[in-house]
Structure 1
Amino acid sequence: MAKNTIVQRISLDGGEAIKSQLQALGSAGERAFKQMAAVDRANFEKFSASLGKARTDLAAFVKNTALLGTGLAAAAGGAGAAVFSLAKSSAESADEAGKNAQKTGLQIDAYGRLEFAAKQANVSQDQFVSSMSKLNKSIAEAAAQTSKAGGTFDASGVTVTRFGAATEKAAEKTETAGTAFDRLGIKLKDANGKLRPTEAIIGDLAEAFSRLEDGPVKVALGMEIFGKSFADLIPFLNQGRDGIRDLGKEADKLGLTLTAADTALGDNLGDTLDELAGAIFGIKRKLGLLFAPIVLAGAEGFRDIIVQNKDAILQFGAEAARVTAGVLGAICCTF
């Protein structure tokens, strides 16, 4: 065992026990400590100082400009954060409602009334939007095909504007184009030849389906108009025109219906918050790149320290492992 002693560099409870273990490492441990003591600490200290300065500069920048949202973070437990959260969630809800209304071909206020009525019939929002989207497509297709027939019939198939063989061919086209709507007695266009509001058409469809007996005919007509999701929509339609209208009035009274201005505001706020998040990310990235050369230089210096003393560190580790194994072996033998 080497006679040289290792100066204890660790001060903590049980230090004497650690000192005796370090002494047991002998000459290999002594050499390792001497080599590590001879390491040029200047680079590491410079690296640490650079990191400290970078951290201080970054903190000051954030505090002064509030680019990272410190204004909101400071009020996280107060009214500021509550107002922000309320505005954000309301805007997201309004934006989503506006986009769903577009998918269904409904005005935003009509969407709110009908979606509430559907919810009261246990029809989920996804089911409602899917069904209304298919209805909107069915209405458009039926109206387009009727127009291709030369305007010979209105949506109910009764107004003749042509004569002779051409009229008969147009009638055949219209008969297949709007069969489901025709059989239910639903007019898609008003007296001026314009498409009626989708909300009004839905009311007529609800009244017609509520009077139809459950069975294959009802299902076939419903699937032709609403698609495969018709079965989910039956409880909603079975409320009839008046039932849906009454629930729509209840939605208005409860403040559940929105305006076009509401959805536009929600969309604008959502877009602005997305842009803000992008701006914050961009600034953080630019800041990181400004400090990157300092961090790089320090990291390179620290890397060189590790590489230069690799053998000593590994040798010290091997001796420490040997001593630890011996200590553990002695403890095991005691038991």
Structure 2
Amino acid sequence: MSKMAQKIGIPIEELSRLKYVADLSGVSMQTLATGVRKLSVNMTDALAKPTSEVAAAFQKLGIELTNADGSMRSSQDVLVQLSDKFAAMPDGAEKTALAMKLLGKSGAEMIPLLNGGSAALSQMMAEADSFGQVFSKEMGANAEAFNDNISRLTGVIGNLAARVATQLLPHMV
């Protein structure tokens, strides 16, 4: 979770809340991460190329990509606003195409997560808090260190097994 948060640029607390929402919506963590990553790339591209197709898609939905001070909005803020827009749209080809344009190939799979709008997202994120599903930065760092140590241990055990096999194989042949 910690490494994924770093990869897609969302704080681990928010990512763990979104993971909970994704799980309830039938969306995998990988799909969520891929969609958010693509959304971030498209936001950057739209700001760099205001006449591009992706910029037009954001404009069509009335989604601002910058804050009042001119800084770029966070991808989770844009995702929440996007959910309100998708909740108001009828299901169909236009919604699916728009989801895929803004969120990449994962967009179509993320529609169930977006269809409830920001109210549903907020409610499910609050549930994640109340059910203890939110990872803190410290928890993420500890889990990351634990996983890294398991990988190290697995490597050492694999090396040991190879050495034993190397010693035994000549006698077994």
> Scaled by the length of structure 1, what TM-score is found?
0.45
Alignment match, 1:309: none
Q: Alignment partner of 1:178: what SS?
A: helix
Residues 1:199 and 2:71 aligned together: no
Alignment match, 1:77: none
Structure 1 residues without counterparts, runs of 5 or longer: 1-96, 146-173, 304-335
The change in CA–CA distance for 1:271 and 1:183 in structure 2 (over 3 A counts) is: same
Q: Choose which of 61, 80, 102 in structure 2 pairs with 1:225.
A: 102
The change in CA–CA distance for 1:283 and 1:228 in structure 2 (over 3 A counts) is: closer
Alignment match, 2:137: 260
Give matches, 1:1-335, under 5 Å: 97-145=1-49, 174-176=50-52, 178-280=55-157
Deviations 1:219-256 (A, max 9, x none): 33222101233222222111001110110010011111
Percent identical residues: 30
CA distance in 1, matches of 2:14, 2:42: 19
Q: Residue type matched to 2:51 in 1?
A: E
Q: How many residues were matched structurally?
A: 170
> Scaled by the length of structure 2, what TM-score is found?
0.82
CA distance in 1, matches of 2:162, 2:119: 58
CA distance in 1, matches of 2:94, 2:51: 17
The change in CA–CA distance for 1:279 and 1:179 in structure 2 (over 3 A counts) is: same
CA distance in 1, matches of 2:156, 2:95: 55
Q: Alignment partner of 2:51: what SS?
A: helix
CA distance in 2, matches of 1:274, 1:218: 42
Higher relative CO (Cα under 8 Å, sequence separation at least 6) belongs to 2
* 1:286 shift after superposition: 6.7
Q: Alignment partner of 1:175: what SS?
A: coil
* 1:178 shift after superposition: 1.1
Structure 2 residues without counterparts, runs of 5 or longer: none
Deviations 1:89-114 (A, max 9, x none): xxxxxxxx223323433211111111
The change in CA–CA distance for 1:104 and 1:283 in structure 2 (over 3 A counts) is: closer
Larger radius of gyration: 1
CA distance in 1, matches of 2:114, 2:162: 54
